[in-house]
Amino acid sequence: MTAGRRERGLFEFYEDDPERADYLIFGRRAGLGRRGFLKGAGLAAVGASLGSAIPFSTSMPPGLVPVALAQSAGDDPLQGKEGLIVHNDRPINAETPVHLLDPDITPNNRHFVRNNGLVPEAARQGDAQGWKLAVDGEVNQPLELTLDELRSRFTPVNLKLQLECGGNGRAGFNPPARGNQWALGAVGNSEWTGVRLGDVLRAAGLKDSAVYTAHYGSDVHLSGDPDKPVISRGVPIWKAMDPHTIIAFAMNGEPIPALNGFPVRLVVPGWPGSASQKWLTRITIRDQVHDGPGMTGMSYRVPAYPVQPGADVPLEDFRIIQAMPVKSIITYPATGTTLPRDNRMIEVRGHAWAGDRRVSQVDVSTDYGSTWIPAELDPPPNPYSWQRWRARLNFPTRGYYEVWARATDDQGVMQPFEVMWNPRGYLNNSMHRIALTVPT
């Protein structure tokens, strides 16, 4: 007797072969857009599962399964995260609404998620047994460290460190830039526990030829090919040796969440989050700038000079992004807030940060930038943590207002009203604006 053919769920189907899944369900070959629909059969089936048609199905990016199906499949794609806005589910990418970033320390369940591949099964299961970190390349003494050896051999540190996706703010570019359309919430500031990367590299003995690091993780390529790296970025040796660049194994006093890199990840604060390799398993020291996936072409690079919006830029004219620019967000009140009746005063507050630098000043405006009010600014608890700011505002009359915030770093660089366009939508640090209504 021949066994019947086993039915597979939509997510399992995509995990096995995302390109074939897109073709069979949507009649779409890679790079051609979701058109054709195999006479509408696949689309109709997905619509039936949702209980509704999908009006803008042709705009759905490749590999995307509707979030409603993920939530109804009995699986939690966000692994305990709460209140996040999902931009993609394959790989999972989700940002935190800005008003939920008000705490000085971003809770684990509110920290944004930026993944390039599939979360390793061991991470999903919370299984750290067998994890090892290899350190090799341009070193005198290659290392292979277990988690216990990493904890016991090197001095632990606890640091409040800010991480931000290089594309945070991409939704603000016009014309639109390719990639997840992050608003402002692809950022977080958690307390990380780990060991200094510099201490580990010193133990390995850097050769004089050491120029750059190369990072590798255990996440799985969307194709399912176990031999194909998902993303492998690196940093110059001087940044790797910064005492605030760490190999982290805890986040806010708990194991790192699966979506954020359990059991071990790098935290390279002040630089694009892509340099902070999740599910870390190997660090190779190279004698040249690393050229792994995510290091070449236009990936995490911007033009070396201003370009016209929408312009084509030769690849040789791109430079690697290093430190992120000065930036601030308004975390209270939420945009769209209406003040209580007969109340025209409110405390506005938020956070500011400045890549490798420190924020020296934050100002706010309620009259569209005609005048600016200095905010009270707290010092950071340690370098690379964001800084709390607050301002008490009094509105002269009823009506609609916008509150604008701008930060200035310790080198005098100030947030602009609008940033220069670039093809991949990186480094948008334009002023944050919220809307407030003052009633009669």
Q: Hey, what amino acid is at 389?
A: W
Q: And the tokens for 365?
A: 């405006």
Q: What is the pLDDT of residue 66?
A: 58
Residue 35's alpha-carbon distances to 26, 56, 64, 347, in angstroms, are 7, 11, 14, 50
Per residue of the chain (440 residues), give pLDDT as tens.
Answer: 334 333 334 444 444 444 455 555 444 444 344 333 333 545 565 565 556 667 766 666 555 555 555 433 335 778 889 999 998 888 999 999 999 999 999 999 999 999 999 999 999 999 999 999 999 999 999 999 999 999 999 999 999 999 999 999 999 999 999 899 999 999 999 999 999 999 999 999 999 999 999 999 999 998 888 889 999 999 999 999 999 999 999 999 999 999 999 999 999 999 999 999 999 999 999 999 999 999 999 999 999 999 999 999 999 999 999 999 999 999 999 999 999 988 889 999 999 999 999 999 999 999 999 999 999 999 999 999 999 999 999 999 999 999 999 999 999 999 999 999 999 999 999 999 999 999 97
List strand residue ranges (DSSP E) for 103-186, in order.
113-114, 132-137, 143-146, 156-164
Query: Which residues partner with 215 through β-bridges?
Result: 283
Query: Which residues partner with 156 through β-bridges?
Result: 195
SS3 helix, strand, coil % of the chain, rounded to 5? 20, 30, 50
Kindly give the interhelix angle for 18-26 and 41-50, rounded to the nearest 10 degrees: 100
Question: What sections of 154-248 are H helices per DSSP?
Answer: 197-204, 237-240
SS (H, E, C) 48-74: HHHCCCCCCHHHCCCCCCCHHHHHHCC
Q: Which helix (H) or strand (E) holds 131?
A: none
Question: What sections of 129-168 are H helices per DSSP?
Answer: 147-153
Q: What is the pLDDT of residue 70?
A: 44
| Torsion sign (Cα): 242, 108, 166, 183 | negative
121-320: CATH homologous superfamily?
A: Oxidoreductase, molybdopterin-binding domain (3.90.420.10)
End-to-end Cα, the chain, rounded Å: 79
Q: Kindly report the CATH number that applies to the domain delimited by 327-438.
A: 2.60.40.650
Question: What sections of 110-253 are H helices per DSSP?
Answer: 121-124, 147-153, 197-204, 237-240
Q: How far apart are CA 423 and CA 346, in angstroms?
A: 39
Number of H helices, E strands in the chain: 8, 22
Q: Any idea where the domains of the chain sit in the sequence?
A: 10-75, 121-320, 327-438
| Torsion sign (Cα): 393, 106, 213, 211 | positive
Calculate the CA 339 to chain-centre distance: 33
Q: How far apart are CA 213 and CA 277, in angstroms?
A: 11
Residue 286's alpha-carbon distances to 212, 233, 342, in angstroms, are 5, 12, 64
Side by side, the strands of the sheet bearing 327-332 are 327-332, 345-353, 387-394, 376-377
Q: Taking the complete model, does pTM exceed 0.95, yes or no?
A: no
Looking up tokens 């999908």 gives 54
Q: What is the pLDDT of residue 67?
A: 54
Q: What is the pLDDT of residue 280?
A: 98
